[in-house]
Amino acid sequence: MGVLDDKVAIVTGSARGIGRATAELLSEHGAKLIINDLDTDLAEQAASEIEGETAVYGGDLTKDGAADELVKTAIDAFDKIDIIVNNAGYTIDAPIHKMSDDAFQRMLDIHTIVPFRVIRAAAPHLREPAKAEREQGVEVFRKIVNVSSISGTMGNAGQANYSAGKSAVVGLTKTLAKEWGQFKINVNAVAFGWIETRLTASKDSENTMEIDGQTVQLGIPEQMRSMAPALIPIGRPGTPEEAAGGVFFLCSPWSNFVHGQVLNLTGGQFTGMTS
């Protein structure tokens, strides 16, 4: 018997990386999953490989109406929503004096606008059951976990766009926590440090993704990667599975009194100008 038995979870960007590890961990503990990825075929493959009940919404969540369709997929498949993990995202790095309007806007769209739209679309399916439960004197906790980054909490050179989007996620999280705490909807964020994914892999010609016909270069220079032991007291970057563990905690019953918080998952990383 799992601690998340009969819970329904939406995890965006869940066909690979941290999202995939999170989906697998939630499923392992009994949750039913909505798997999402920009690549529909990859989302279908992930759903077929993850044990437990799954449904799939493939497509670009920044498109008009996509967040509503994602939520509809969950309701059509499982008739409710208990957990939302807003994880989908990527990076377009450049120093600010060389950064285009498009590169800045794309980071706001995926990291801030998409979580807002997903939460707004899910609102009736979270708030209305909670109102009925409150009238009955019953406490049922639901969970929203927004993925931020220490780039958003402390800044990071070359990531003005990403840092701005991830900082906004913190403000969104804390505001929603104030609005929805009355409904026993825990709203928290995780701020990841250096986690080994394609976003922090070596920056080479093969580490790219396609969005709207545009090739986006991912990864970081090898010289920077070599600095990991000096920057992280644990001595290495984190794994997607370790990152997923923090998300799982905020989705679990053990976090019922954790609300409006940002959980730093960094290995103690020494970066940024504030704490």
Helices (H), ranges, the chain: 17-28, 40-49, 66-78, 101-108, 114-135, 150-154, 160-180, 222-225, 228-231, 240-251
Helix (H, G, I), strand (E, B) or coil at 146: strand
pLDDT of 181 higher than 60: yes
Mean pLDDT over 192-202 rounds to 72
Q: Could you give the domains of the chain?
A: 8-196+238-265 (3.40.50.720)
Report how far residue 110's alpha carbon sits from residue 61's, in angstroms, rounded to the nearest whole number. Answer: 7
Average pLDDT, the chain: 91
Count Cβ atoms below 10 Å from residue 93 Cβ, excluding itself. 21
More confident residue, 230 or 160: 160
Residue among 90, 162, 183, 248 flagged as catalytic: 162
Q: Residue 260 to residues 139, 150, 169, 176, 268: CA-CA distances in angstroms?
A: 18, 17, 12, 8, 21
pLDDT at 199 (0 to 100): 58
Please say if 57 is a catalytic residue: no
User: What are the pLDDT digits (tens) for 159-172?
Assistant: 999 999 999 999 99
User: What are the pLDDT digits (tens) for 49-59?
Assistant: 999 999 999 99
Q: How confident is the model at residue 275 (pLDDT cuts 50, 70, 90)?
A: very low
Partner residues linked to 34 by β-bridges: 10, 55
